[in-house]
Structure 1
Amino acid sequence: MINTTRSSYEVMVVGEYYFDLVFRGLPDIPRMGADLWAQEFDWVPGAAFSTALALTRLGTNAGWWCAFGNDIFSRMIMEEARKESIDDGLFIQLGKPWRRLSSAFSFTDDRGFISYSEDRDPSPTPADLERIRPNVLLLQGFSLDNERKALINAARNLGIRICSDCQHIDMDLSEPGLIEALRQIDVFLPNETEAKALTGETDVEIALGVLTRYCSTVVIKRGAEGVIASDNGRVYRLPALSVDVFDTTGAGDSFNAGFVHGLLHEPDFISALEVAVICGSLAVTGYGGRNLPYLSDLDRYRRRSAAD
């Protein structure tokens, strides 16, 4: 059953929650036969929770389409959402366990996951989208399934801007239907590894050029290197903030939220990128995005780099 306390949002985030167990200070990468002890541990709400949290802190009216069950992990994530004043109007309440867990082994330069997911979340329908009518549809992950195609087609017909993350899809541009799917998206937000894997290119700038043949706005997240993006043929680059990296879990989701907030509320494209870089950079300074900025924090972190 869906709680429909609101009928419209600036942003509709479609994405799953994850209950992230984060292990830091490991002496080595986990491997068979090794018993490793972490120096630090915490748990955080992950995946699209980070996106919803970042948008909420920035003051964007966002609804998060996400399924929750009657299990302890779902209940704890919903409790955290209430504490952070994340709107629950699009939460789907299921009367059964709906567990989503990830164990993250976190290092300063990267991280890995061991994950478990009960099942796929129920997708919003075109009728749901017509009822909600957000300005922006922000999709966690990239999919070629018929439900996602129908949702994107409905968004285009309603004049809703479509932004999609990539989320480690096991496909490249030779996959039937993938290029056509990219053409239906307004903004594509892969990270550098994903962009290279999709295009088969080893140079991120070449990968960017390939992707912009099919999507007019492509934003490639580069971690500590910042971002490279192309909007209607113009290329932009911004460095990441100089911060002490604590945990990179949730940085990409936080970046996405900052960028979408910027699209809605900033005067130009590079200003939107600035907000995205601020959110992504600050996310890595604590566990799983807990150090995300509020709207009042942005001005002291703003830093502009000339567009190419």
Structure 2
Amino acid sequence: MDDDRPEVLLTGLLFYDLVLTGLGRPPAPGEEIWTGGMGCGPGGIANLAVAASRFGLRTSLATVFGDDFYGAHCREVLAGQEGVDLALSRTADGWHTPVTVALDLPAAGSAGHAGHAGNGAAASDRALVTHGQEPPYSQDALMGDPPEARTALVHLEAEPRAWIAKAAANGTRVYADVGWDPTLQWSADLLDQLALCHAFLPNETEATAYTRTDSAVAALGTLAELVPVAVVTRGAHGAIAVDQTTGEYAEAPALDVDVLDATGAGDVFGASFVAASLGGWPLAERLRFAVLAASLSVRHHGGALAAPGWYGVDRWWRSLTDPGLARAYGFLTDRIPADVGPPVRHAPVTPPVLRP
């Protein structure tokens, strides 16, 4: 890159995630159940930050850490281990880092949670229990006048954030997603914020609900009139996209993978799409790359530390034996950098200590 601006600018709520796996069934009141394993690590906005940083992008994160063990651990992982710039972040005295305990239960579907859920199908349900309070600093207070950055990854909410307009005005390209509306109103007013955005990447349920359409293709057509680059992720059906700046349309099928934990898969998709976009890749390559990275992430526990980075993509490519996938992803030969970095560190997964 030809300048030292942040390549990805982020802000949002951080969680400490504790994932308990291998439960045969949910516990009954008054009952103790021993799990088959445990994973832990930063979650929430950390999912995007780590996914971007592992692709070698200069990543600047504005978030709030509590002055507790969980905050100190997440800060060390993000800054010390993953190289995320935390100059815009703050540690709040007397405020506790939000903690989510996820129980991985056998089921046919996947449960969602704002800041944690991904856009893929899962082999289990997750029962989630979160403790936390609103942080003492808002996104706008953390950002102030945001630094010039090449891109910003944002989560659109009903109440517009002032910093997003400032970032767009200083030349930052805004890539946005959106979450589940618990009111089920799906107010179309939220789409007015797309005037500030370069790209919008909702999942199929969100896209059809906000556009009042009945299919991903119809929703994509409506969104393409509102934002230069529109993407609709479709879980097990892959993703579709339109880039009005180049006139490209693309579809990418999902990869057939065993899903261990879909937490943060949507965030990995978004960060990977931005990484490929910063590289100036054709839309079809950007979309396939994002689908691949998200698919690789669901094979590991947790959100942030499941992101594959260049190391994970390179390992997948070198071990590939399927001729169809080899043709479809042949562009990786020219895209994977010579130095893919050290092996990525996944969330620590600890087997239980059995009682005698």
TM-score (norm 1): 0.83
Cα displacement string for residues 204-260 of structure 1 (whole angstroms, at most 9, x for unaligned residues): 222322333322322222233322222226432112333221111111111111111
Aligned to 1:4: none
Aligned to 1:17: 14
After superposition, residues 47-196 of structure 1 pair within 5 angstroms as 47-81=44-78, 82-106=80-104, 108-109=122-123, 111-112=125-126, 113-120=128-135, 121-124=137-140, 128-130=144-146, 132-139=147-154, 141-146=155-160, 148=161, 150-170=162-182, 175=187, 177-196=189-208
Aligned to 2:210: 198
Please, which of 217, 221, 235 is the counterpart of residue 209 of structure 1?
221
Check conservation: 2:19, 2:101, Cα contact below 8 A: yes
In structure 2, how many angstroms separate the alpha carbons of the residues matched to 1:166 and 1:30? 33
Aligned to 2:321: none
Cα displacement string for residues 266-299 of structure 1 (whole angstroms, at most 9, x for unaligned residues): 4222222233122211110111143422325535
SS, match of residue 269 in structure 2:
helix
**Percent identical residues:** 29
In structure 2, how many angstroms separate the alpha carbons of the residues matched to 1:259 and 1:99? 29
In structure 1, how many angstroms separate the alpha carbons of the residues matched to 2:268 and 2:41? 14
In structure 1, how many angstroms separate the alpha carbons of the residues matched to 2:214 and 2:129? 27
Check conservation: 2:265, 2:295, Cα contact below 8 A: yes
* Cα distance change, pair 159–93 in 1 and its aligned pair in 2 (3 A): same
Check conservation: 1:19, 1:43, Cα contact below 8 A: yes
Please, which of 304, 328, 334 is the counterpart of residue 304 of structure 1?
328
SS, match of residue 296 in structure 2:
helix
In structure 2, how many angstroms separate the alpha carbons of the residues matched to 1:30 and 1:166? 33
CA positional deviation for 1:134: 0.4
In structure 2, how many angstroms separate the alpha carbons of the residues matched to 1:31 and 1:206? 45
SS, match of residue 214 in structure 1:
coil
Residue 43 (str. 1) matches residue 40 (str. 2): yes
Residue 221 (str. 1) matches residue 233 (str. 2): yes
Residue 255 (str. 1) matches residue 269 (str. 2): yes
SS, match of residue 52 in structure 1:
helix
Check conservation: 1:275, 1:298, Cα contact below 8 A: no
Residue 284 (str. 1) matches residue 281 (str. 2): no
In structure 1, how many angstroms separate the alpha carbons of the residues matched to 2:93 and 2:132? 16
Check conservation: 2:144, 2:163, Cα contact below 8 A: no
Larger Rg belongs to:
2
Unpaired runs of at least 5, structure 2: 107-121, 318-325, 330-356
Check conservation: 1:251, 1:288, Cα contact below 8 A: no
In structure 1, how many angstroms separate the alpha carbons of the residues matched to 2:228 and 2:185? 16
* Cα distance change, pair 229–172 in 1 and its aligned pair in 2 (3 A): farther
In structure 2, how many angstroms separate the alpha carbons of the residues matched to 1:10 and 1:293? 19
Unpaired runs of at least 5, structure 1: 1-6
- The one-letter amino acid of 2:309's match is Y
CA positional deviation for 1:183: 2.8
SS, match of residue 156 in structure 2:
coil
TM-score (norm 2): 0.72
CA positional deviation for 1:138: 0.9
* Cα distance change, pair 118–247 in 1 and its aligned pair in 2 (3 A): same
SS, match of residue 328 in structure 2:
coil
